[in-house]
Amino acid sequence: MRITEDRGVDVVFENIGDPTLWPGAFNSLAPGGRLVTVGAHGGGLVTLDVRRLYSRRLQVMSGIGTERRDDVERSLQLAAAGQIRVLIDRVMPLREAAAAHRLVEENQTLGKVILDPTLV
């Protein structure tokens, strides 16, 4: 919410299903927003605030098996045109993988951490 000046985001792609991270993802949605979830390696059992779901007209959906070829192609076109932004916190050398994992586990990042094997 801080990044969007309390507006929220239209879509969250969530791929962990972690009960400690889910509320932040869900609560970051703008009215009418959608949370697409495609993973459960963080535990899979999460709490859902149904009042918020209804009052803000939110949608929670599974992304597994729902993609259509034209949607994938359109997404790739938008990404190639620079119209999709991915929040990247930092890029680290692959040799620092353990440190990168610690940062993520300790919730010290805001966005993706990329491990780049070409960095020295």
> Which residue range is the domain that position 77 belongs to?
1-84
Q: pTM for the full model?
A: 0.56
> Quick one: 58 and 107 in the same domain?
no
Of 38, 26, 20, the C-alpha closest to 8 is: 26
> pLDDT of 47-66, one tens digit each?
999 999 999 999 999 876 65
> pLDDT of 74-116, one tens digit each?
888 998 898 988 889 999 999 999 999 999 888 898 889 999 9
Q: What distance in Å separates the CA atoms of residue 13 and residue 87, rounded to the nearest whole number?
A: 12
> Quick one: 77 and 106 in the same domain?
no
